[in-house]
């Protein structure tokens, strides 16, 4: 299976936002920050006020994180990232090509494939993934077939986290 697409800023931002949102350490950090507000009440704060304040702080921290991501990703030099890409599932490897590189990741070296809102990601390690926007697929069936094919390749090489 071969897919061609242009990776855009919004694709990369969505991937980073969801990746961070699903990160257990990041969630623990933000929940602890909100819990500090809840458990350190000032005089006269009622339980509903402390609860609402904690929820507001939790979401405010996520908004600051998202704003930071936008500024950081926008200010970085990403000319080689936001470009036309070709992804191909080959017998022995996951292949990616741009005008700047060709990458072969043999199936035993692929960590996992995930399907999320707006994209599919093929992780080569815990902190690096090939991002394929949902719009790169002709339809939801092709997207599901892509994910199933990658999972099958991973299972064939003994990867149980596929």
Domains of the chain in sequence order: 2-7+83-156 (2.30.29.30), 9-75 (no CATH)
CA separation for the pair 18, 133 (Å, rounded): 13
Task: Give the pLDDT confidence of 33-92 residue by residue, as tens digits.
Answer: 888 888 886 777 788 888 888 899 999 999 999 999 899 888 877 778 889 999 999 999
Nearest-angstrom CA–CA distance, 130 and 153: 16
pLDDT, tens digit (0-9, with 9 covering 90-100), for 43-56: 777 888 888 888 99
Alpha-carbon span 125 to 156, nearest angstrom: 18
pTM: 0.81
């Amino acid at each position: 299976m071969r897919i061609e697409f242009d990776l855009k800023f919004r694709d990369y931002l969505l991937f980073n936002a969801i990746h961070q949102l699903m990160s257990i350490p990041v969630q623990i950090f933000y929940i602890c920050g909100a819990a500090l507000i809840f458990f350190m009440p000032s005089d006269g704060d009622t339980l509903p006020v402390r609860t609402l304040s904690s929820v507001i702080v939790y979401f405010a921290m996520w908004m600051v994180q998202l704003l930071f991501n936008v500024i950081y990703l926008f200010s970085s030099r990403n000319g080689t990232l936001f470009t036309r890409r070709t992804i191909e599932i080959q017998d022995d490897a996951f292949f990616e090509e741009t005008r700047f590189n060709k990458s072969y990741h043999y199936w035993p070296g692929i960590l996992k494939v995930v399907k999320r809102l707006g994209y599919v990601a093929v992780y080569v390690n815990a902190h690096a993934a090939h991002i394929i926007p949902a719009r790169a697929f002709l339809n939801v069936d092709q997207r599901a077939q892509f994910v199933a094919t990658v999972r099958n390749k991973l299972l064939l090489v003994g990867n149980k986290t596929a």
